[in-house]
Chains A and B, each alone.
Chain A
Amino acid sequence: MNREHSQEDSNFKHGEAEEQKTAADDLKFIRSVIEKTCRKIDPGWPIMIIWGLIFMIGFPALYYLKMNQLDQWIWPIQWLLVVIGVGTTIYFGANARLRERKAGLISKLSKQIYWIWFILQANLIIWICLGLFKDHMGGFGLLVCAIYGIGLSMMGILYSREWLYGGIAIFFAILAAFFIKSYAYVILGIVTGLACIIPAIIAQRNYNKQKEENEQG
């Protein structure tokens, strides 16, 4: 009786070990499928490169106008820079989304990032249209940089770390600009520009690498 019992017990233990192995295999399979199908979203790097150039060239240009008392040009140039930036965002953003859809992927993350930038840039356009900062070049510049600091930080949290570092760098630049007022716009322009361009290059490189790996594997 006891022997029968111990035989049954050993069979049960053997079955349990088998089940554990199957469960471990199933978990491994789930992980491998997630890794295989998890495609990083297209970072749409031309958008950030163009915004970066806008900051790096536009802000020192605005500073030059202010220094030479050409104030009447400041507002139209701010307008032009924002129109170029927003136009580029819409054009390249829509292209990147279409490319993803054609490849058979409608990414949730991509949608979230799109809405973040849509809301931030809509605010920017409304402020400009209302001329809220028309007479206060300083306020406008700081706000644009703050918007980019927030946008990049959110992208860093949701998407990939390098954007977060860009966002943090902008916040430090805003602080520095507050204390070194005479060079505020040169500092803000260069730091915000680099905070857009460097992460864009890194993100695009990582995306291409991942795409290659997915195609090979």
Chain B
Amino acid sequence: MSKADQPKFDGLILSKTRLGIISALIGGDKLDFTYLRNALNLSDGNLSVQIRKLEKAGYIKVEKIFIDRKPKTFCKITSKGQKAVKNLISKLENLVNTES
């Protein structure tokens, strides 16, 4: 594979933390902030910064839902986010399967 043939990756989701968040949401479930924080072993500050970046890019949607009168922040992947992560996975798979 020549340099020119190498796939271009989406830098936004190539970061390990953001890739973790978006991979957790890929199934279409809505996951809340605490659930994501515990599952990915992230700090509150780091998680909220990364969530904001993904939301700004339109990859995830953030909504507040009241459960037992307490607000919870839930994140959900958008169709743009789904496309981006599927695209990334197929590019990574191509790269892994390419014989050097």
Contacts and interface: CB of A to CB of B under 8 A. Distances in A.
Nearest to B100: A16
Nearest to A26: B92
Contacts of A126: none
A105 B19 contact: no
Interface residues of B, number: 35
11 contacts: A20-B96, A27-B93, A30-B89, A33-B20, A34-B24, A34-B27, A36-B39, A37-B27, A37-B36, A104-B32, A109-B29
Nearest to B70: A102
Contacts of A17: 100
A33 B24 contact: yes
A106 B68 contact: no
Given A33-B20, A109-B29, 9 more contacts: A13-B100, A20-B100, A27-B89, A29-B20, A33-B19, A34-B23, A37-B27, A101-B67, A104-B72
B29 A105 contact: yes
A192 B1 CA distance: 59
A37 B24 contact: yes
A108 B16 CA distance: 25
- Interface of B, secondary structure class, is helix
Interface string A86-115: 000000000000100111111111000000
A108 B82 CA distance: 15
A122 B33 CA distance: 35
B43 interface: no
A98 B96 CA distance: 42
Interface in B49-90: 65, 67-68, 72, 74, 85, 89
A12 B100 CA distance: 10
B40 interface: yes
A171 B98 CA distance: 48
Nearest to A102: B67
Contact of A108 (B27, B72, B95): B27
Contacts of B95: 19-20, 23
B26 to A, nearest CB: 6
A202 interface: no
Contacts of B74: 104, 106
Contacts of A30: 19, 23, 85, 89
A77 interface: no
Given A26-B92, A29-B20, A101-B67, A12 B3 contact: yes
Interface in A1-58: 12-13, 16-17, 19-20, 23-24, 26-27, 29-30, 33-34, 36-38
